Structure 1
Amino acid sequence: MTDALELDALWEDFHRVVNMTSQELAAWLRVSDAAEDTEPLPEHAGSPTGQHVLAILQKRRTDLTDDDVEVMYEVVDTVSAQKDPENEPAAEDTPRRHLLMTLGHDPLKP
């Protein structure tokens, strides 16, 4: 496990880049996985990473596992690499916006 200072910084970075609430993310994962005539069970909706992000949002920092820490680093790195202040995704559906939203980051949120 990472040391306390590093974990504190990661926790802050993760919650800075994950700007969707757990309710918003859960709803997005259900919508993004829904077919025309079916919708997955909430606990099965979305990608494994999206589900893991949702689980992390519902935890306290003291309850994090090594897997949680690994996913948090992955999410922070991915969102940071995808962010482009001069070319943020527009309101229309774009693959980049959907990828970021699956990780809990809606680039259209202030």
Structure 2
Amino acid sequence: MPLDFARIYADFHGAVNMTPAELDDWLETPESLRVGQKKDGGESVGHASGRYIVKLLRTKKSALNEDDYLHMRKVVGYVRRHRAQEPQNMVTSRWRYSLMNWGHDPLK
């Protein structure tokens, strides 16, 4: 089944509600670095995704490739799954911080 690039693009921009600058700044915080699953003690999957999301947000639509759209689809899935697990205190929770690594601030 071919990818629906238009749908993925729209869904991605609906899920990611942080600007590239906001996400860049967030990724530099201790809270951002503290959350997420880490492979071999290195950078978390979500933190690496956040860096890729910044790149995607700064890339012209016409320059996006299939791998970019696949990552966009992954981001949308992550945000949807985790939004369904909202904790009682979302302001300072690891849940919120993790979502922010993926470009979505639930308080916005």
Give the structure-1-normalised TM-score.
0.75
Measured against aligned partners, the alpha-carbon deviations of 1:36-77 in whole angstroms (never above 9, x if no partner) come to xxxxxxxxxx82211100100001111112221111011000
Q: CA–CA distance in 2 between the matches of 1:57 and 1:88?
A: 31
Please give the per-residue CA displacement for 1:20-41, whole angstroms capped at 9, x wherever unaligned: 001100000011249xxxxxxx
Percent pairwise identity: 34
Task: Specify whether residues 66 and 24 from structure 1 end up closer, same or farther in structure 2 by C-alpha distance, changes over 3 A only.
Answer: same
Mapped to 2, the partners of 1:26 and 1:90 lie a distance apart of 21
Aligned residue-pair number:
94
CA distance in 1, matches of 2:54, 2:19: 9
- Compare CA radii of gyration and give the structure with the larger one: 1
Aligned to 1:107: 106
Identify if the C-alpha distance between structure 1 residues 60 and 107 changes in structure 2 by more than 3 Å, giving closer, same or farther. same
The 4+ residue runs of structure 1 with deviation greater than 6 A are: none
* Change over 3 Å in CA distance of 1:108–1:51 after alignment to 2: same
Correspondence list, 1:12-51, <5 A:
12-31=10-29, 32-33=32-33, 47-51=47-51
**Is 1:90 aligned to 2:90, yes or no?**
yes
TM-score, normalised with respect to structure 2:
0.76
Q: Any conservation in 2 of the 1:17–1:105 contact (CA below 8 Å)?
A: yes
Partner SS for 1:104? coil
